[in-house]
C-alpha cells in the first residue's frame, strides 16, 4: 500500500534500448539525444511545480533525467537504490516476449532475476521511502517501478508510461476516496 500523499512521477527519458524494445532492467543504459530533449521538456514543466525533493534511481538514465530537471527546479536530489528497475537476470537486453509474460504471471523467473512479486514489494517500499522526503516529491525512475503505482494508485493514461512525462498523483480524501492521476502539461 502506498502512503497517501500527493506526489509526482516521471519515467526517465528515452534510451536506445527503449527504441529497440529491449528489457533494460538494471543494465545501466544511458539516455540518447531524444531522451535528453524529453528530460529538458519535463524540466520546464517541473519548474512550475515547486518540487521539494527529487528522488531517483541510481541508474544513469534516471540520474541524468533527474539532474536535468533539478537544474530548472532547484530541488535537491536523493538517490534511492531500491528505485532501480527490476533485475531480469540473464534476460536483460532481450526483447520482451513469452518469457516476460511468464515472469509477470509468476510461472517462471529467469535465472538471476527478481520475482515479479518481490520486485513489486521492493518498488512499493521504495516509493513509500521517497514519499517520506520533504515534498512535493518527484520520483524519477522506471516503467517497472511505476507498476507499483498503477496497482496502488490507478491511473487512466494508457498501458505504459511514456518516457519523461510527469504524472501528478493526488491522494484519496474523504470527498474523493480514490487516487487521481493527471498528466502535467509540458
Each domain of the chain, given as residue ranges in start order, spans 7-183
- Give the separation between CA 179 and CA 154, rounded to whole angstroms: 6
- Give the separation between CA 5 and CA 171, rounded to whole angstroms: 5
Pairwise pLDDT comparison (56 vs 186), residue with the higher score: 56
**What pTM, to 2 d.p., does this model score?**
0.92
Residue 26: other Cβ atoms inside 10 A = 18
Per-residue CA distances from 178 to 3, 25, 169 (Å): 13, 31, 10
Is the per-residue pLDDT at 42 higher than 80?
Answer: yes
Per-residue CA distances from 56 to 77, 84, 111, 169, 174 (Å): 7, 8, 27, 17, 30
Q: Residue 158: its pLDDT value, please?
A: 52
| pLDDT tens digits, one per residue of 110-138 | 999 999 999 999 999 999 999 999 999 99
| pLDDT tens digits, one per residue of 134-157 | 999 999 999 999 988 888 766 555
| pLDDT tens digits, one per residue of 63-103 | 999 999 999 999 999 999 999 999 999 999 999 889 999 99
Q: Residue 159: its pLDDT value, please?
A: 59
Q: Residue 98: its pLDDT value, please?
A: 93
Is residue 5 within 8 A of residue 171, CB to CB? The reply is yes
Share of residues in the chain with pLDDT > 90 (%): 77
- Give the separation between CA 114 and CA 19, rounded to whole angstroms: 24
> To the nearest whole number, what is the mean pLDDT of the chain?
92
What number is the average pLDDT over the span 19-43? 97
Q: Residue 174: its pLDDT value, please?
A: 87
What number is the average pLDDT over the span 18-45? 96
Is the per-residue pLDDT at 186 higher than 80?
Answer: no
> Would you call 12 a catalytic residue per the annotation?
yes
CATH code of 7-183, in short, is: 3.40.50.1240
Q: Residue 161: its pLDDT value, please?
A: 80
Which DSSP string corresponds to 58-122?
Answer: SSHHHHHHHHHHHHHH--EEEE-GGGSPPPBGGGTTSBPSHHHHHHHHTS---TTBPPHHHHHHH
**Sign of the four-CA dihedral 18, 78, 43, 169:** positive
Catalytic residue among 64, 85, 92, 114: 85
Amino acid at each position: 500500500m502506498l502512503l497517501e500523499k500527493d506526489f509526482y512521477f516521471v519515467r526517465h527519458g528515452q534510451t536506445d534500448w527503449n527504441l529497440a524494445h529491449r528489457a533494460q532492467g538494471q543494465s545501466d543504459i544511458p539516455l540518447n539525444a531524444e531522451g535528453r530533449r524529453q528530460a529538458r521538456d519535463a524540466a520546464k514543466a517541473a519548474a512550475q511545480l515547486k518540487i521539494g525533493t527529487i528522488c531517483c534511481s541510481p541508474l544513469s538514465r534516471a540520474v541524468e533525467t533527474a539532474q536535468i530537471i533539478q537544474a530548472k527546479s532547484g530541488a535537491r536530489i536523493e538517490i534511492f537504490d531500491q528505485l532501480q528497475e527490476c533485475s531480469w537476470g540473464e534476460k536483460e537486453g532481450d526483447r520482451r516476449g513469452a518469457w516476460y509474460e511468464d515472469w509477470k504471471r509468476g510461472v517462471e523467473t529467469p535465472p538471476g532475476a527478481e520475482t515479479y512479486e518481490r520486485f513489486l514489494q521492493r518498488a512499493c517500499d521504495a516509493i513509500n521511502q521517497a514519499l517520506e522526503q520533504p515534498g512535493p516529491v518527484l520520483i524519477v525512475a522506471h516503467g517497472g517501478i511505476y507498476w507499483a503505482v498503477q496497482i496502488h494508485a490507478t491511473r487512466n493514461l494508457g498501458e505504459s508510461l511514456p518516457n519523461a512525462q510527469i504524472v501528478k498523483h493526488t491522494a484519496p480524501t474523504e470527498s474523493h476516496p480514490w487516487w487521481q492521476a493527471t498528466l502535467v502539461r509540458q
